[in-house]
Amino acid sequence: MTNAATVQTIDTPDGPFTIVSDAQGRVLASGWTADLEVALARIPAAARPTEVHEGRTDAATAALAYYAGDISAIDTVPVWQPGTAMQHAGWDALRTITPGAPLSYTEFAAQLGAPRAVRAAASICARNAPALFVPCHRVLRGDGSLGGFAWGLEVKRSLLARESATN
Protein backbone atom coordinates (compact mmCIF):
# COMPACT_ATOMS: atom_id res chain seq x y z
CA MET A 1 0.00 0.00 0.00
CA THR A 2 1.37 3.42 -0.91
CA ASN A 3 1.08 6.22 1.53
CA ALA A 4 -0.33 8.70 -0.98
CA ALA A 5 -2.58 11.66 -0.32
CA THR A 6 -4.60 14.17 -2.28
CA VAL A 7 -4.43 17.85 -1.45
CA GLN A 8 -6.94 20.51 -2.40
CA THR A 9 -6.99 24.17 -1.43
CA ILE A 10 -10.21 26.13 -1.68
CA ASP A 11 -11.05 29.77 -1.09
CA THR A 12 -13.26 30.52 1.91
CA PRO A 13 -14.38 33.74 3.61
CA ASP A 14 -11.78 32.91 6.28
CA GLY A 15 -8.96 32.54 3.75
CA PRO A 16 -7.48 29.62 1.85
CA PHE A 17 -8.42 26.24 3.30
CA THR A 18 -6.23 23.23 2.53
CA ILE A 19 -7.41 19.64 2.86
CA VAL A 20 -5.13 16.60 2.85
CA SER A 21 -7.00 13.32 2.35
CA ASP A 22 -5.90 9.72 1.97
CA ALA A 23 -6.77 7.25 -0.80
CA GLN A 24 -9.99 6.32 1.05
CA GLY A 25 -11.11 9.97 1.06
CA ARG A 26 -10.55 10.41 4.79
CA VAL A 27 -9.31 13.84 5.86
CA LEU A 28 -5.89 13.53 7.50
CA ALA A 29 -5.40 17.26 8.06
CA SER A 30 -7.05 20.51 7.11
CA GLY A 31 -6.73 24.15 7.99
CA TRP A 32 -6.76 27.76 6.90
CA THR A 33 -3.53 27.94 4.94
CA ALA A 34 -2.41 27.67 1.34
CA ASP A 35 0.91 26.21 2.49
CA LEU A 36 0.92 22.44 2.01
CA GLU A 37 3.86 22.02 4.37
CA VAL A 38 1.93 23.72 7.18
CA ALA A 39 -1.03 21.39 6.62
CA LEU A 40 1.19 18.30 6.45
CA ALA A 41 2.97 19.32 9.66
CA ARG A 42 -0.34 18.81 11.52
CA ILE A 43 -0.06 15.07 10.76
CA PRO A 44 2.27 13.13 13.08
CA ALA A 45 5.51 12.28 11.24
CA ALA A 46 4.94 8.51 11.34
CA ALA A 47 1.54 8.91 9.64
CA ARG A 48 2.51 11.64 7.16
CA PRO A 49 1.92 10.73 3.48
CA THR A 50 5.03 10.00 1.44
CA GLU A 51 3.45 11.21 -1.82
CA VAL A 52 1.04 14.07 -2.26
CA HIS A 53 -0.72 15.17 -5.41
CA GLU A 54 -3.27 17.87 -6.14
CA GLY A 55 -6.80 16.78 -6.86
CA ARG A 56 -10.43 17.13 -5.92
CA THR A 57 -11.75 15.95 -2.58
CA ASP A 58 -15.28 15.28 -1.35
CA ALA A 59 -14.28 17.10 1.83
CA ALA A 60 -13.81 20.32 -0.16
CA THR A 61 -17.38 20.04 -1.44
CA ALA A 62 -18.56 19.67 2.17
CA ALA A 63 -16.47 22.64 3.33
CA LEU A 64 -17.87 24.84 0.57
CA ALA A 65 -21.41 23.76 1.51
CA TYR A 66 -20.63 24.62 5.15
CA TYR A 67 -19.55 28.10 4.10
CA ALA A 68 -22.67 28.43 1.93
CA GLY A 69 -24.81 27.90 5.04
CA ASP A 70 -25.21 24.12 5.31
CA ILE A 71 -23.42 23.84 8.66
CA SER A 72 -24.18 20.10 8.87
CA ALA A 73 -22.36 19.36 5.59
CA ILE A 74 -19.13 18.67 7.52
CA ASP A 75 -20.70 16.19 9.96
CA THR A 76 -20.24 13.00 7.94
CA VAL A 77 -16.92 13.73 6.24
CA PRO A 78 -14.67 10.77 7.08
CA VAL A 79 -11.50 11.63 9.00
CA TRP A 80 -8.51 9.68 10.26
CA GLN A 81 -5.78 10.58 12.70
CA PRO A 82 -3.55 8.45 14.90
CA GLY A 83 -3.96 8.81 18.62
CA THR A 84 -4.71 7.24 21.98
CA ALA A 85 -8.09 5.81 22.94
CA MET A 86 -8.85 8.97 24.94
CA GLN A 87 -7.88 11.21 21.99
CA HIS A 88 -10.14 9.24 19.66
CA ALA A 89 -12.99 9.45 22.18
CA GLY A 90 -12.40 13.20 22.38
CA TRP A 91 -12.28 13.70 18.62
CA ASP A 92 -15.50 11.69 18.28
CA ALA A 93 -17.10 13.79 21.03
CA LEU A 94 -16.08 17.03 19.30
CA ARG A 95 -18.16 15.94 16.33
CA THR A 96 -21.26 15.76 18.55
CA ILE A 97 -21.10 19.34 19.87
CA THR A 98 -24.10 21.22 18.54
CA PRO A 99 -23.15 24.08 16.22
CA GLY A 100 -23.91 27.38 17.92
CA ALA A 101 -23.74 25.79 21.38
CA PRO A 102 -20.01 25.58 22.23
CA LEU A 103 -18.78 23.86 25.37
CA SER A 104 -16.16 25.00 27.83
CA TYR A 105 -13.02 22.90 28.22
CA THR A 106 -14.41 21.84 31.63
CA GLU A 107 -17.73 20.76 30.08
CA PHE A 108 -15.85 18.94 27.33
CA ALA A 109 -13.72 17.08 29.90
CA ALA A 110 -16.89 16.11 31.79
CA GLN A 111 -18.45 14.88 28.53
CA LEU A 112 -15.42 12.59 28.16
CA GLY A 113 -16.07 11.18 31.64
CA ALA A 114 -12.99 12.87 33.10
CA PRO A 115 -14.23 16.14 34.62
CA ARG A 116 -10.88 16.95 36.24
CA ALA A 117 -8.88 16.31 33.04
CA VAL A 118 -9.36 19.80 31.62
CA ARG A 119 -5.77 20.02 30.36
CA ALA A 120 -6.11 16.66 28.62
CA ALA A 121 -9.34 17.89 26.99
CA ALA A 122 -7.54 21.02 25.79
CA SER A 123 -4.70 18.86 24.46
CA ILE A 124 -7.17 16.77 22.45
CA CYS A 125 -8.34 19.97 20.78
CA ALA A 126 -4.78 21.18 20.17
CA ARG A 127 -3.74 17.89 18.55
CA ASN A 128 -6.73 17.76 16.22
CA ALA A 129 -5.44 17.71 12.62
CA PRO A 130 -8.66 17.68 10.52
CA ALA A 131 -9.87 21.11 11.64
CA LEU A 132 -13.44 22.08 10.72
CA PHE A 133 -14.43 18.42 10.14
CA VAL A 134 -13.59 17.66 13.77
CA PRO A 135 -14.84 20.99 15.13
CA CYS A 136 -12.44 21.73 17.97
CA HIS A 137 -13.33 25.40 17.47
CA ARG A 138 -16.54 24.64 19.42
CA VAL A 139 -14.66 24.48 22.74
CA LEU A 140 -14.04 27.67 24.74
CA ARG A 141 -12.44 28.72 28.00
CA GLY A 142 -14.57 28.52 31.13
CA ASP A 143 -15.09 32.30 31.12
CA GLY A 144 -16.48 32.13 27.57
CA SER A 145 -13.37 33.59 25.92
CA LEU A 146 -12.04 31.91 22.81
CA GLY A 147 -8.93 30.25 24.21
CA GLY A 148 -6.51 28.99 21.59
CA PHE A 149 -6.91 27.80 18.02
CA ALA A 150 -4.16 26.55 15.72
CA TRP A 151 -5.53 28.61 12.82
CA GLY A 152 -5.95 31.89 14.71
CA LEU A 153 -8.59 33.42 16.90
CA GLU A 154 -10.12 35.42 14.02
CA VAL A 155 -10.94 32.19 12.19
CA LYS A 156 -12.33 30.62 15.38
CA ARG A 157 -14.45 33.73 16.03
CA SER A 158 -15.74 33.66 12.45
CA LEU A 159 -16.65 29.96 12.59
CA LEU A 160 -18.51 30.36 15.88
CA ALA A 161 -20.39 33.43 14.56
CA ARG A 162 -21.34 31.55 11.38
CA GLU A 163 -22.65 28.63 13.43
CA SER A 164 -24.55 30.72 15.94
CA ALA A 165 -26.23 32.63 13.09
CA THR A 166 -27.68 29.39 11.71
CA ASN A 167 -28.92 28.14 15.07
Among the listed residues 49, 56, 106, 102, the one whose alpha carbon sits nearest the alpha carbon of residue 39: 49
- Measured distance CA(93)–CA(71) in Å, rounded: 17
Among 71, 136, 139, 159, the active-site one is 136
Burial group, residue 80, by CB count within 10 angstroms (0-12, 13-18, 19+): middle
Residue 136 is a catalytic residue:
yes
- Measured distance CA(65)–CA(6) in Å, rounded: 20
Q: Which residues are annotated as catalytic? A: 136
